[in-house]
Structure 1
Amino acid sequence: MSHDQGMKPRLLLVEDDPTSRHFLQATLETLPAQVDIAESLASALKIESGHDLWLLDANLPDGSGIDVLRALRLRSPSVPALAHTADDSPALHTQLLAAGFAEVLVKPLGAAQLLGAVRRALGDMRGARLRVSEPAASPSLPLWDERTALAALNGNVEHVATLRKLFLDELMRQQEKIVLSLERGDEATARHELHQLKASSGFVGALRLNAAAARLEKALADAEAIEVFTTTVGDTFSSG
């Protein structure tokens, strides 16, 4: 990414409210950073890809922040994303985190809070943690790791429990969609779902599943990787 070379990082800011957009853009540019602006899902998708970070409004005129994230990740699956919203509902925040956002920022927010979240995302702490467990979905890896989950969710035990329940509620549906996509040769959908699963499993500390999803994402046609993935999904679900 550009910031690794000492250049300004390139950010995509999607915000439909003019006042909020002006504040967020002005603050982000002090990072310093190059900030591309979009007011909707449609306009965001018209901007050339190649960003280091996405900052997405959770509610837009033509869709949700989750809709934007899913659309953007079809073409750039590894870019981190932050969600921002005026809604402080824990249920919404849980949905946003489960969808793959690294953090959820509540508006109005101060400049220091915004810049701190951006620096954390650009530092790719989450990606580094996930890469540690990518080599293999070994049975020696624990199915669950509380320290990983607590670190991802700022030590909030209640949030971990809530997010883990949501994760398990969606897990079998995700597995079915991934397997069916592979059977149909729809690699784009399979990669998209696996990438989301990597993010969500990392948040809840499902280490063995995280590794299995990462392995399969890299080798979609590998029969052994598929078998390991499906077995690990079953073990994770039954142990939850």
Structure 2
Amino acid sequence: MTAMQDPTTPPLRLLLVEDDLVSRSFLQAVLESLPAQVDWAATAHEAQALAATHEHALWLIDVNLPDGRGSDLLASLRRRAADTPALAHTADLSPVLATQLRADGFADVLVKPLGRQALLDAVRTALPAARQASENLPTWDEQRALSALNGQQSHIKALRDLFMGELPSVRNAISQAMASEDAGQLRQQLHRLQASCGFVGAARLGAAAAQLQQQPHNHHARNNLNQAIQQLLGQ
């Protein structure tokens, strides 16, 4: 426990699935520094047993396990807890594999070996508890927009006009992807929206898009996105 942690709040509980002893030791030590309690499994079978016993805030799953594929394990775990975010980790640098893993439902893909800070940053991004609630963010973040556009105020106005003009069609595309349960299309639309929000400083909507991208089946995340869009369009 660190000095900053509230002693009345239980630590995060994470599930780490990794069969290599050296990789597991490194990953576990870094994760425990969050601080977090880390349950470790070497196989998909062990991971399923731990998930049946404990509730985890995040799953970190090796892509290749002695008894199966990481994506198959994630699909199995999702049937028990549909909204839990997951990170994949692998030594494979293939961008094709990374794209497939994201399509399979992983929030991000960590390539081993990776540094301590890279791991912590990925975990904090994936964890809902580590992200500021989107409803508490300002509609427009002027400082972020100025930083993204090198202080060019005129560029901000021009981009925001373009952004607002396209927002209704973006909302419709996201709604259609959710209605048809097209995970790939939904992820693509949310990724584009999140990037656009960063350029124009649409802080609340950007955070809501990121949250839904991580948890596409979470009804609260869907409502947050709809409310953030409506707030902008209603101005």
Same fold (TM over 0.5): yes
Q: Partners in 1 of 2:17 and 2:74 — Cα distance?
A: 11
Task: Give the aligned partner of residue 74 of structure 1.
Answer: 79
Question: Which secondary structure does the structure 2 equivalent of 1:79 belong to?
Answer: coil
Residues 128, 196 of structure 1: CA spacing in aligned structure 2 closer, same or farther, 3 A cutoff? farther
Indicate the RMSD between aligned Cα atoms, in angstroms: 3.9
Task: Give the aligned partner of residue 184 of structure 1.
Answer: none
CA contact (8 A) 1:83 1:105 kept: yes
Task: Give the aligned partner of residue 151 of structure 2.
Answer: none
Task: Give the aligned partner of residue 68 of structure 2.
Answer: 63
Which of 80, 88, 96 does residue 93 from structure 2 map onto?
A: 88
Say if 2:104 is the partner of 1:99. Answer: yes
Residues 7, 22 of structure 1: CA spacing in aligned structure 2 closer, same or farther, 3 A cutoff? same
**Per-residue deviation at 1:85?**
0.5
Normalised by the length of structure 2, the TM-score is: 0.56
Task: Give the aligned partner of residue 15 of structure 1.
Answer: 18
Unaligned runs of 5+ in 1: 130-139, 149-170, 176-192, 219-240
The structure with the larger Rg is 2
Per-residue CA deviation, residues 106-153 of structure 1 (Å, 9 max, x unaligned), is 000111111111111124689967xxxxxxxxxx742479xx9xxxxx
Q: Partners in 2 of 1:197 and 1:77 — Cα distance?
A: 19
Task: Give the aligned partner of residue 36 of structure 2.
Answer: 33
Specify the code of the residue in structure 2 equivalent to 1:10: R
CA contact (8 A) 2:124 2:131 kept: no
Q: Partners in 2 of 1:70 and 1:201 — Cα distance?
A: 23
Percent identity between matched residues is 48
CA contact (8 A) 1:85 1:104 kept: yes
Question: Which secondary structure does the structure 1 equivalent of 2:99 belong to?
Answer: helix
CA contact (8 A) 1:80 1:124 kept: no
Residues 38, 46 of structure 1: CA spacing in aligned structure 2 closer, same or farther, 3 A cutoff? same
CA contact (8 A) 1:100 1:199 kept: no
CA contact (8 A) 1:99 1:200 kept: no
Q: Partners in 1 of 2:130 and 2:186 — Cα distance?
A: 14
Matched ranges for 1:112-127 at <5 A: 112-123=117-128
Residues 125, 25 of structure 1: CA spacing in aligned structure 2 closer, same or farther, 3 A cutoff? closer
Aligned residues: 161
Specify the code of the residue in structure 1 equivalent to 2:97: L
Normalised by the length of structure 1, the TM-score is: 0.55
CA contact (8 A) 2:103 2:183 kept: no
CA contact (8 A) 2:44 2:68 kept: yes
Residues 203, 62 of structure 1: CA spacing in aligned structure 2 closer, same or farther, 3 A cutoff? farther
Q: Partners in 1 of 2:84 and 2:14 — Cα distance?
A: 10
Residues 115, 125 of structure 1: CA spacing in aligned structure 2 closer, same or farther, 3 A cutoff? closer
Question: Which secondary structure does the structure 2 equivalent of 1:142 belong to?
Answer: helix
Residues 8, 70 of structure 1: CA spacing in aligned structure 2 closer, same or farther, 3 A cutoff? same
Unaligned runs of 5+ in 2: 135-166, 195-208, 220-235
**Per-residue deviation at 1:202?**
3.4
